[in-house]
Structure 1
Amino acid sequence: MSDRESIDGGPPIPGDPFEDRAAACRRRLEAVGADVAVCGPSPNFAYATGFEEEPSERHLLLFLPRAGDSVVVAPAMYEGELAVRWVEDVRHWDDGDDVVSLLESVLSEVLDRDAESEGGGPRDDGGPGDDRILVDDRLWARFTHDLRSVRPDAVYGLASEVFEPLRIRKDERELEALERAARLADRVSLELRSRGDELVGTTESELAAEIDRLLAEGGGTEPAFPTIVAAGPNGARPHHRAGDREIEPGDPVVLDFGAFVPATYQTGTGHYPGDQTRTVVFGGDPPPAYETAHEVVREAQEAAIDAIEPGVAVGEIDRVARSVIEEAGYGDAFVHRTGHGVGLEVHEAPYVVEGNDRDLEPGMVFSVEPGIYLEGRFGVRIEDLVVVTDDGARRLNETPRGWRPLSDE
């Protein structure tokens, strides 16, 4: 792929969407009767600030209150990086400082400020004197423990109550990044399938490493998840980790991969993943029943995507895909949900699973990936990312969904 244009972030996108997102979070805090959301390094932190970092043992926390200015508590080593963010109040601390006392001071400030504000919404947690603090779903237990130690009488909940309804609908900039990630996955898929029979004799691990190399060469910053190459009977395990099995002639090979690509703003960054699955047979005829099973999965995916439109319950998409597979006699072999949302995380809301009554809305992005898994024989999965439009759905992936290498299609 070195002779092709890389999938990169391009020039910085003007404007500061992160401050706008923070304002939307404040409105959500008011709507749910919470006082402050506290986020550690996580997709929620990145969504609201444009600052991405891995969690560590040091306290790096965003306090996003429904009233007044936000505050970031950060190790002094981040001073330069955080200076360009929209949050102006950054409280730095040095190793050896009493950071728990700093947390107590910050919480007291933001909660007292909220109590004094005239625009605060009503609380729904039992009384006007109770503080309601929402903590990041991914906040490490030690940091949650520190917050509870300085505010033990507060009512605690999860920040997803605020962030999920906002993150679940992607804006134009997020969609553009997801489209680039999908194009990258498409290009790698086409490259692999163009090699055809030459992949026979390659081990799963070797091919997974080659996929990761191609994704990186094309501009992916890191794999969206451990690349899945599952040959022959290993394909019956939906999340098989690539091993030493060689691809044999006629093996169905489940290829499930994607990479994060950057969306670069003037005031921060975000990374968005691709996620595509094709099941391909290299170098011979597939085993008995494979062609039938593959066609059933393809029809289930088509039916599910055709059923997508605003106002339809998310769980209905799972039901449609599952009914096709059940009617073909493979119901017990479809062992996972039909899909999952994709955004700053490769798995996020909405989850396309039975019982999810949330209505589909324009701007939602999720996978549609039915499968059939026959233990000891083979597996079949076909996956595309789709975005809900005003009147249906649009696929982000465009590669062929048949099972033959490109030279045979």
Structure 2
Amino acid sequence: MDERTAGAGPLDAERLARAKRAVGDAGLDALLIAPGADLRYLTGYQALPLERLTCLVVPASADPFLVVPRLEHPAALASPAGGLDLEVTAYDETDDAYELIARRLPAGTRAFAVDNQMWAEKLLAFQSALPGAQAALAGDVLSVLRMRKSPGEVEALRRAGAAIDRVHRRVGEWLRPGRTEREVAKDIADAIIEAGHATVDFVIVGSGPNSASPHHDVSDRVIRTGDPVVVDIGGTTEDGYCSDSTRTYAVGEPPAAFRELYEVLLRAQTAQTDAVRPGITSEELDAVGRDIIAAAGDGEHFVHRTGHGIGMETHEEPYIVAGSTRALEPGMAFSVEPGIYLPGTFGARIEDIAVCTPDGGERLNLTGRDLVVLPG
């Protein structure tokens, strides 16, 4: 299936209306949204990011419209955007798409916002076409809408979580001494697709001392008996929602010091997922696990935030981190993934996706969290 016309999952036709209201509330004249998660969220259209401009325009005082290159017009109409009450305008190769949009914006436009991932060359072209207008980030407007997932979006994330759980349950088929991290990662990537994802977003297989590097990718290191192995994997499903889950394995009996470290981590991560509820702030939730790890003497070895929001992007608002006073609300979905890393020795991470519910929280990853010791 062409990814531009793939299903967009639980597309809510009211999203555009909510975005339009948010534009006015923010004191902006228009949102300008290029290809990416924001465009797919608002219209269901997963447009190709090309040098030619594709742009959703959401004025505060007029109807939204989508501007696309002529050669992309059929794909735009065939996407879920074609089923919305949305004008889709095509332009030709010799047209100036930026001037086209500028002419259609309200006279006296003074402030507009672009999506956070718009290419710099496109932002500069809009600034040239709208001299005197102030540019801002649309993320400040749209993140408030996107971070509160609808029931349909939560169900999509639940399906994504179940799919990645199916992969973790099979890791023992591939993880064994004598194989390289890269070989194991290839098998895992194939299984991510088999489990129901449309794309593989990342596969981390960190064995032995590599498990102490939180963002290790893969290498040609040969896995050895006694190695701890961090496996952090995720993909995107056909309807556009992401999975992300980490489990730590041991290939044969690990060192006693690693078991002690892992038990501290498990207590911290369990306490954090149990603490998810409306009203708790991001920094308070971060502190629940961080305090447990610090009390055990490993505070300096928990080197990253507790988690990140997830939806149509693997990393989005809200971020579960010290300094964030954002209170959790029902519908917010995010990872809970404390880790302890001893540089050059070993490390561990446990990660579940959690959703804040009206009366607490729900874990979307349901594989066991105890250390899995595989044959060595």
TM range (shorter): over 0.9
Displacement, 1:85? Answer: 4.1
Indicate the residue corresponding to 1:397 in structure 2.
365
- The alignment status of 1:276 with 2:276, answered yes or no, reads no
Q: 2:134 aligns to what? A: 155
Is 1:57–2:54 an aligned residue pair? no
Q: For structure 1, which segment, 234-243 or 79-88, has the greater mean C-alpha deviation from structure 2 after superposition?
A: 79-88
CA distance in 2 between partners of 1:155 and 1:370 (Å): 40
2:56 aligned partner, one-letter code: L
Deviations 1:9-33 (Å, cap 9, x if unpaired)? xx9799961x310000011111111
Matched residue, 2:95: 98
Counterpart residue number, 2:308? 340
Partner residue in 1 for 2:224? 248
Equivalent residue runs for 1:90-169 within 5 Å: 90-95=88-93, 97-99=94-96, 102-112=97-107, 131-169=110-148
SS in 1 for 2:98: helix
* Pairing of 1:136-285 with structure 2 (within 5 A): 136-193=115-172, 195=173, 199-224=176-201, 226-263=202-239, 271-282=240-251, 284-285=252-253
Structure-2 separation of matches of 1:387 and 1:407: 34
Give CA-to-partner distance per residue, 1:115-141, whole Å, 9 cap, x none. xxxxxxxxxxxxxx6611011100001
Structure 1 CA distance for aligned equivalents of residues 190 and 149 of structure 2: 29
For the residues of structure 2 that align with 1:330 and 1:276, how far apart are their CA atoms? 23
Q: How many residues align?
A: 367
Output the aligned Cα RMSD. Answer: 2.0
Q: 1:336 to 1:201 in 2, by over 3 A?
A: same
| Corresponding residue SS for 1:398 | coil
Shift of 1:311: 1.0
Distance 2:328 2:209 in 1: 36
TM-score normalised according to structure 2 size: 0.93
Matched to 2:69, the amino acid is P
Partner amino acid for 1:235? S
- The yes-or-no answer on 1:381 pairing with 2:349 is yes
CA distance in 2 between counterparts of 1:309 and 1:15 reads: 24
Tell me if structure 2 keeps the 8 A contact 1:49–1:85.
Answer: no
Deviations 1:310-369 (A, max 9, x none): 011111111111101000000110010000000000000000100111110000000000
Over 3 Å counting, the alpha-carbon distance change for 1:29 and 1:190 in structure 2 is same
Q: Which amino acid aligns with 1:98?
A: D
For the 8 Å contact 1:133–1:156, the answer to whether it is kept is yes
Task: Return the alpha-carbon distance in structure 1 between the equivalents of residues 348 and 143 of structure 2.
Answer: 31
TM-score, length-scaled by structure 1:
0.86
Deviation (angstroms), 1:110:
2.4
Moved over 3 A (4+): 11-16, 405-408
Contact 1:181/1:261 (8 A) holds in 2: yes
Amino acid at match of 1:91: T
Q: Distance in 1 between the 2:51 and 2:283 partners?
A: 39
1:241 shift after superposition:
1.4
Name the amino acid aligned to 1:79.
H
What is the CA–CA distance in structure 2 between the aligned matches of 1:311 and 1:398, rounded to whole Å? 24
Amino acid corresponding to residue 296 of structure 2 in structure 1: A
In structure 1, how many angstroms separate the alpha carbons of the residues matched to 2:50 and 2:287?
41
1:180 to partner: Cα distance: 1.0
Alignment partners' CA distance in 2, 1:106 and 1:144: 13
CA, structure 1 residues 13+92, in 2 after alignment: closer, same or farther (shift >3 Å)?
closer
Gaps of 5+ in 2: 1-5
Partner of 1:304: 272
Are residues 207 and 174 of structure 1, via their aligned partners in 2, closer, same or farther at CA, if it must alter by over 3 Å?
same
Once residues 13 and 274 of structure 1 are traced to their aligned partners in structure 2, the CA distance between those partners, rounded to angstroms, is 16
Q: How far is the alpha carbon of 1:70 from its aligned partner?
A: 1.3
Q: Structure 1 stretches of 5 or more lacking a match?
A: 1-10, 113-128, 264-270
Q: What's the CA shift for 1:262?
A: 2.1
Correspondence 1:364 to 2:326? no
Equivalent of 1:351, from 304, 312, 319?
Answer: 319
Per the TM alignment, residue 405 of structure 1 is displaced from its structure 2 partner at its CA by 3.6
Q: Distance in 1 between matches of 2:246 and 2:10?
A: 35
**Counterparts in 2 of 1:72 and 1:87: CA distance versus 1, 3 Å:** farther
Per-residue deviation, 1:106: 2.3
Q: Does structure 1 conserve the Cα–Cα contact (< 8 Å) formed by 2:250 and 2:374?
A: no
Contact 2:7 2:44 in 1 (8 A): no
Identity fraction in percent:
40
> Could you give the per-residue CA deviations for residues 80-133 of structure 1, whole angstroms, max 9, x where no partner exists?
1222242542221222x132xx42232232223xxxxxxxxxxxxxxxx66110
SS for the counterpart of 1:376 is coil
Instruction: Please say if residues 111 and 131 of structure 1, whose CA atoms lie closer than 8 Å, have aligned partners that are also in contact.
Output: no
